[in-house]
Structures are given as C-alpha cells and as structure tokens.
Amino acid sequence: MTVVRSLSVMPTEVVAAERTSAYAGLASRTVAFALDAAVINLVAWAVTAIVALGFSLITVPEEVRTVLVTTGVVLAAVWAVGYFVFFWSATGQTPGDRVLGLRIQDERMEQPIRGRRAALRLLALPLSALPLCAGFLMILVDDRRRALHDRIARTTVVYVPRERPRRTAR
C-alpha cells in the first residue's frame, strides 16, 4: 500500500492513497457474528454446567443461590462485552471475523480501533437493530458498506487479503 503523508493532517494520521481491501457485506458480517455468538454461548454454557455441577454436590440456601445466579448473569454479560471489545481493539478481528477474513478498522487510518471506540461500537450495535434492523440495512446502500453503529464509531469492516504461504527453494 502506498502511504502519503500530508501536512494538513495530524502527525499520527496516515491517509491511504489506494485501497487494498474490499468492504465486507451484510452476509459475511452476519455469519461472522453468528460464529462469535456461538463461541460466547458455548463458553457461558460450559461454565454454567460446571458451576451447576458443583452446586449440586453441596447444599446452598435459596438466598445465596439467587445472589449467585444474578452474579452469573452479570459475569456472562461482562464476558460477552469483553470478548468483542478485546478482539476488536487488539487485532480488529474476533475469531468469527478471522474465519471469514474480516477486520474492523478505523475508517481513516485503516488500523484496529482502540478500546473506547470498540466499546462505543458495541454499545451502538443495538441501535442498528431499531427499527426493524434499518441500521443494518444501511450496509446494502452505503458506498463503504457501513451500518449505523459503524458510522457512529467511525469504523469500516473490510476483507483481509489472504496471505499465501511462500515456497522455499529446495
């Protein structure tokens, strides 16, 4: 990729002269999200099963059980939020995104987003579902295939070019 530095932009801002990746569409983003939801749920169910097995072996008062269930629900929500924020801010790819070759990036700098912006993107995600998923349908008409939450967080979702393994000379 050719990089152009301009005096009119901040020193840390880099403007790409030519795009090297295509923007990801609705179908691939939906499949990636479904894979991530499956990972999140499988981990939550496995932890729940282990905890339930442990509590089946001991007697716990009903009040304590209620507190523990509430704590478990809160921890499951923190796990789901942490999953997306961590992966989006670390590499720009959740495991589901990696399987489909997608990456979430800053719309101007084409780099993974920071933690605060990842959290903002996740918090804005439900807004795309209101009303009648209109925010997601924006992907179909936007020139950069951005949903409402992408516009709010100033992100784009692109296909990552697959690197082929290099052959070594024998």
Q: What is the pLDDT of residues 47-79, one digit of tens each?
A: 999 999 988 899 889 999 899 999 999 999 999
Closest to 98 in 3D by CA, of 148, 149, 24: 24
Buried b (16+ CB within 10 A) or exposed e, 114-145: eeebbbbbbebbeebeeeeeebbebbeeeeeb
Per-residue pLDDT tens for 145-157? 999 999 999 999 9
Tokens of residue 25, six digits: 């569409």
Q: What is the pTM of this model?
A: 0.81
So what's the pLDDT on residue 10?
46
Q: What is the pLDDT of residue 11?
A: 44
Q: How far apart are CA 65 and CA 78, in angstroms?
A: 20
Among candidate residues 145, 150, 75, the one with its CA nearest the CA of residue 118:
150
Those residues of the chain that have pLDDT short of 70 are 1-20, 170
Strand ranges inside 8-101, DSSP E: 15-16
